[in-house]
Amino acid sequence: MAYGRGRYVAVGMEGLVLTSGDGRAWEPVPLGLDRNLWGVAFAQGRFVAVGDHIILVSQDGRHFETLPAPGILNAVAFAQGLFLAVGWGGLILTSQDGRSWHRQASGTWKGLFGIARSERLWVVVGEGGTVLTSSDGIRWHQAVLEGAPFLTGVAWNGSRFVAVGWGLALYTSEDGLAWEPLHPGTGQQLWSVAFGPQGFVAVGHEGPMGVVLFSPEGTAWTLEARVPAWLLGVGWGRGQYVAVGERGTILLSPNGKRWVKVETPVQKWLYAVAYGEDRFVAAGEALLLSREGKVWRAFPLPQEETLLGLTFGAGTFLAAGEKGSLYASRDGIRWEKVLSLGRPWLRGLVHGNGRFVASGHGKVLVAQRGWDWEEASAPHLPKHLPSVAHGDGRFALVGHPRPGEGVVAFSEDGLAWDEAHPLGNEPEGIAYGQGRFVVVGNCGTLLSWP
């Protein structure tokens, strides 16, 4: 939100622009845009708003000129005669008048979200603990905060900078160069969670390192392992937990606490793992099988499609692909395509109550009789639905409609999803055990229900 010429201007999703003279009564400004707007500033007698590949300029806050932008811009600010806009992919733009913009080399590909200026220094913050500093807005120097927090905002109060981010991250600095963590938050991105007799295991990454967290009951968690590879999937079978990730990484643990890496015949990314028919199946950009989890063999992927999800039920492995396909197999080696959407991905899979449920990009599918798939009617659910679980006689799935927001929804049959609850962060995985559902996601999200 910005204030100028006796008027407040606020911007938001899908081209939303609101204006108010007193901050209480607001009216929309019809622009006919469908692009998200993420920031607005007022300086030099004009409002400047930025968003998805767009820049808006207005003298009065009611009539806007539309300009193209070379990427998604998340924030804009003005100081000492210069507009500065930042966005995804390390994008930094500068302008003296808000209309003519110049791209500057930031030295990073990280997303940038917050801008502040002291008497002598610009400071920009972003994902992965990224902090950029510049005296002139043109030449930038980069630092990375320990713990790689996802920083979303920064401000200058006249004596120090204060940066904030997800996971309650809070950092301060007097000069913009040396930062003190008042609350470090977490940069952990958790992708998957599984339940076994010893408890819950969640996996993900923090910066370049993979992380493994363990909880006996899904409430109090401890960090048990760090490995030099992102971890993207986890499962339980044959008395052990198995975690999989980038460059063919596979870890084993009998109790969720002591982890051992095993050799694999591939260097490709693995996204999921499941156990059934006395064997483990791991899948992603490659397909691996193992009887006991220690020795793995590679087999051809079904139709060379990267697999994002796996589950086992009713004597059958079910795999979900990046092209919206589903494949079934009795042995994990020979696969039959049982669904082809010919459109974006499916990832979430579970078997329960005598049926398979699959979720993904804008789809929830249920197979009650063989491979006769029926699509759930769920227009109120978000498009991004990465994970689904079953427990206590009902299904639960998670999704996120937009950055920083999430949803968990419940259904008895997988078709009617009437019960939905908002979440504060973006969820990526869900599992059931110990009488509760556990959700994991960005910024170290670890939630239990009930």
pLDDT digits (tens, 9 = 90+) for 56-97: 999 999 999 999 999 999 999 999 999 999 999 999 999 999
CA distances from 48 to 66, 75, 80, 439 (A): 10, 10, 16, 39
pLDDT of residue 447: 93
pLDDT at residue number 300: 96
- pLDDT, residue 184, reads 74
Same domain, 47 and 165: yes
Region for residue 338 given its phi and psi (left: phi exceeds 0; alpha: psi -120 to 50; beta: otherwise): alpha
pLDDT in tens, 98-127: 999 999 999 999 999 999 999 999 999 999
Q: Does residue 165 share a domain with residue 33?
A: yes
Domain limits at 53?
A: 2-183
Same domain, 84 and 120: yes
Which pLDDT does position 442 carry in this prediction?
87
Give the span between the Cα atoms of 363 and 19, in whole angstroms.
37
> Is 347's pLDDT higher than 90?
yes
Query: What contacts 24+ positions apart, CB below 8 Å, involve 120-124?
Result: 121/175, 121/176, 122/79, 122/84, 123/154, 123/156, 123/161, 123/163, 123/173, 123/176, 124/84, 124/86, 124/92, 124/154
Least confident among 23-27, 185-189, 362-366, 378-382? 185-189
Whether 170 and 202 map to the same domain: the answer is no
Q: SS3 of 304, please?
A: helix
Q: How confident is the model at residue 425 (pLDDT cuts 50, 70, 90)?
A: confident
The reply to whether 64 and 114 lie within a common domain is: yes
Q: How far apart are the first and last CA of the chain?
A: 37
**pLDDT surpasses 90 at 167:** no
> Residues 319-336: pLDDT tens digits?
999 999 999 999 999 999
At 187, the pLDDT band (50, 70, 90 cuts) reads confident
Looking at residue 142, which CATH number applies to its domain?
A: 2.120.10.80
pLDDT surpassing 80 at residue 34: yes
The length of the chain in residues reads: 450
| 162 and 195 both lie in a single domain | no
Q: Predicted confidence band at 188 (pLDDT cuts at 50, 70, 90)?
A: confident
Q: What is the CATH number of the domain that holds 307?
A: 2.130.10.10
Q: For residue 267, which amino acid is it?
A: Q
Residues 173 and 201 in one domain: no
Instruction: Examine the domain organization and report whether 137 and 251 are in the same domain.
Output: no
Asked whether residue 169 carries a pLDDT value surpassing 90, the answer given is no
Burial (0-12, 13-18, 19+ Cβ within 10 Å), 439: buried
Domain boundary among 137, 152, 183: 183
Residues in a beta bridge with 348: 359
Distances (CA, A) of 233 to 1, 9, 369: 40, 44, 28
In the 8-state DSSP scheme, what is residue 405? Answer: -
Q: What is the reported pLDDT for 206?
A: 84
Query: Of 183, 213, 235, which closes a domain?
Result: 183
- Alpha-carbon Rg for the chain, nearest whole angstrom, is 24
Identify the residue with better confidence: 294 or 184: 294
pLDDT score for 229: 96
Q: What pLDDT, on a 0 to 100 scale, did the predictor assign at position 158?
A: 95
pLDDT top residue among 186 and 44: 44
- Structural domains in the chain (count): 2
Statement to judge: residues 334 and 412 lie in one domain? yes
| 359 and 249 part of one domain | yes
Q: How many CB atoms within 10 Å of residue 79?
A: 17
Predicted structure pTM score: 0.74
Residue finishing a domain among 183, 201, 216: 183
160: Cβ contacts below 8 Å, ≥ 6 apart: 172, 173, 174
Position 53 scores a pLDDT of: 97
**DSSP per-residue codes, 166-195:** GGGEEEEESSSSS-EEEE-----EEEEEEE
3-state secondary structure of 246: helix
User: Mean pLDDT of all residues in the chain?
Assistant: 95
Tell me, yes or no, whether 178 and 193 share the same domain.
Answer: no
Of 182, 109, 118, residue with least CA distance to 145: 182
- 223 and 367 together in one domain: yes
